[in-house]
Amino acid sequence: MDELKFHQMTNEELKNLIIRLKKEKNAVVLVHNYQFLEVQDIADYIGDSLDLSQKAEQTDADIILFCGVKFMAETAKILSPEKKVLLSHKDAGCPMAEMITANELKKLKNQYGSNRKVVCYVNSTAEVKAESDICCTSANAVKIVNSFPKDQKFIFVPDKNLGSYTAMKTGRDILLWNGYCIVHDIITLEDVNLARQKYPDYSLIVHPECKPEVYNAADAVGSTKQIEDYVDTHDKVIIGTEIGMYHKLQHKYPQKQLTPLSKKMVCQNMKKTKLVDVAMTLYYEQNEVIVPERIAKKAYQAVDRMLKLSQ
């Protein structure tokens, strides 16, 4: 089938094709919470970075198709090197993951590292993971840091906001790198105040990639899965993360009163994948994610340590 044919298909036809290809190829489709609803609709699993890495490790499928951004598919490949891992759109990257290189981290370790453990946020390249002691996600950063002895010091890369949130929650000495998410870091206290004025009886939950003045002004802070769990038990909520999460929750809980903290919170990379990309990626088995074995083996140690502490 040529490419043009895919673009002429309706969403219903694309969906049926994807379901057929999944069976024929023994493929599992992992979809991040920020993806379009039409993509979530064909998922085997939908979740946050932690959920999806656990699924990638456990699956017995031959192919993992990851609908999200590159670091997520790379993490799946690190955990399941014998599987073919495909990324739903070849250009879907995470700018934060590119904000520190392995060489920059090596320099930092040389400068400060001898008595500090390196914790890397999963939103990082495989090379940076390979230079780290342990990985974390937004769901478990506090737990990971707390798993070390009380006097342990850390270097945290690349997200300064998740890093400072983790330092505040654990009271640990954490050296921060100046990375950030271009979607969450633009939100200001003024945005929070405006939303609070407009929705005075709503509670506010935000992602820890937001600035300190924003997460300090929120009623709760959590990963996308933790935001979903919060909405499960609250009826009026301002959702402080990428807009896809609000769309997902609005769809899941039509009876609840939900509103986004800001309509500016759109991750263009997460929005690159349409249903047609999923169908084509699976049909042609394109956008295969390759992690060199030497890097993958070292990165595996950091990710595996995290997963063992997250069971």
Contact 92, 71 (CB under 8 A): no
Q: Which does 287 bind (CB under 5 to 8 A by kind): ligand 13P, ligand SF4, none?
A: none
Half-sphere exposure of 285 (CA within 13 A, CB side): 13
Residues that bind ligand 13P (CB under 6 A): 33, 48-49, 123, 137-138, 181, 207, 209, 223-224, 242
Residues 209-228, one symbol each (x = binds ligand SF4 by CB under 6 A, - = not), give x-------------------
**What are the start-end ranges of the H helices in the chain?**
3-8, 11-25, 37-40, 49-58, 70-79, 102-112, 126-130, 141-146, 160-170, 189-198, 212-215, 224-232, 243-252, 275-284, 293-309
Q: Could you say whether residue 161 binds ligand SF4 (CB under 6 A)?
A: no
Residue 181 or 282 with smaller CB distance to ligand SF4: 181
Q: How many CB atoms lie within 10 A of CB 217?
A: 17
Residue 6 or 71 with smaller CB distance to ligand SF4: 71
Q: Which does 31 bind (CB under 5 to 8 A by kind): ligand 13P, ligand SF4, none?
A: none
Report how far Cα 236 is from the mean position of its chain's Cα atoms: 25
SS3 37: helix
What minimum distance in Å lies between the beta carbon of 120 and ligand SF4? Answer: 13
SS3 90: coil
Half-sphere exposure of 296 (CA within 13 A, CB side): 15
Distance (Å, rounded) from C-alpha 181 to C-alpha 271? 15
Q: Could you say whether residue 124 binds ligand SF4 (CB under 6 A)?
A: no
Q: Could you say whether residue 94 binds ligand SF4 (CB under 6 A)?
A: yes
Q: Which does 95 bind (CB under 5 to 8 A by kind): ligand 13P, ligand SF4, none?
A: ligand SF4
**Ordered strands of the 45-47 beta sheet:** 45-47, 27-32, 63-67, 84-87
Find the binding residues for ligand SF4 in span 262-281 (CB under 6 A).
267, 269-270
Q: Which of 183, 184, 136 is CA-nearest to residue 156?
A: 136
Among 69, 119, 128, 221, binds ligand SF4 (CB under 6 A): 69
What minimum distance in Å lies between the beta carbon of 269 and ligand SF4? Answer: 5
What minimum distance in Å lies between the beta carbon of 152 and ligand SF4? Answer: 26
What minimum distance in Å lies between the beta carbon of 271 and ligand SF4? Answer: 9
Distance (Å, rounded) from C-alpha 42 to C-alpha 31? 9
Whether the upstream peptide bond of residue 158 has omega within 30° of 0, thus cis, is yes
Residue 28 or 270 with smaller CB distance to ligand SF4: 270
What minimum distance in Å lies between the beta carbon of 74 and ligand SF4? Answer: 13
Q: Could you say whether residue 186 binds ligand SF4 (CB under 6 A)?
A: no
Q: Which does 182 bind (CB under 5 to 8 A by kind): ligand SF4, ligand 13P, none?
A: ligand SF4
Task: Catalog residues that contact ligand SF4 under the rule CB under 6 A.
Answer: 69, 94-96, 123, 181-183, 209, 242, 267, 269-270
